[in-house]
Amino acid sequence: MNWTTETSDAGVIRHTANCAETVDQDVQAALYRCADYAFSLLEDNIQDDSMFCLFIWDAKDSAFSIVVTDEKKGSDAKHRVTLSFTGFSGDGFSNLADSAKYWLTDYLTTCPSFLAFSLLAAFVRGDRAKVELM
C-alpha cells in the first residue's frame, strides 16, 4: 500500500492511500494494513489526554480513517490515517460497515502494537457523539 503524507498549516499530518479492492477478503486485508500503519504511529500520536482510537467509517466518501482523540472526541492527535476505497460508492460501501467493525474488533484482540497502549477502540458511522465501543 502506497501512503502519501501531507502536513496542514495546523500541524495535522494526513496519511492517505487508495484501495480498489471490492472482494470482502481483500477489503479485510486492506483494513488490517491500514490499522497496522496507524498503529505504527501511535507512540508519536499519544498525548496526555488521549483516550479513544476512533475507526471512522465514512460511507459518503467511501473512506475509512483512524484517529486518536481525547475523551470528548474533539481534539485529535496529529496523525490521521485514511484509506479511500475507490471500488465502492454509496450503499455498496455502507453495507460493509458491520463486517468492517467485526473484522477490526477481532483483529484488535491479538494486535500487540495496539494493545501496548491504553486506548478505547470505538467505531464511528458518521457522528462522533454516537460511537460504538469495540
Q: Are 25 and 99 in contact (CB under 8 A)?
A: no
pLDDT class of 90 with cuts at 50, 70, 90: low
Tell whether the model's pLDDT for residue 129 goes beyond 90: no
d(CA 46, CA 120) in angstroms, rounded, equals 12
pTM for the structure as a whole? 0.92
Please list, residue by residue across 113-128, b when 16 or more beta carbons sit within 10 angstroms of its beta carbon and e when fewer do: ebeeeebebbbbbeeb
The residue ranges of every structural domain in the chain are 4-133
Residue range 6-55, pLDDT digits in tens: 998 888 999 999 999 988 999 999 999 999 999 999 999 888 889 999 99
What pLDDT digit, counting tens, does each position of 69-81 carry?
Answer: 999 988 899 999 9
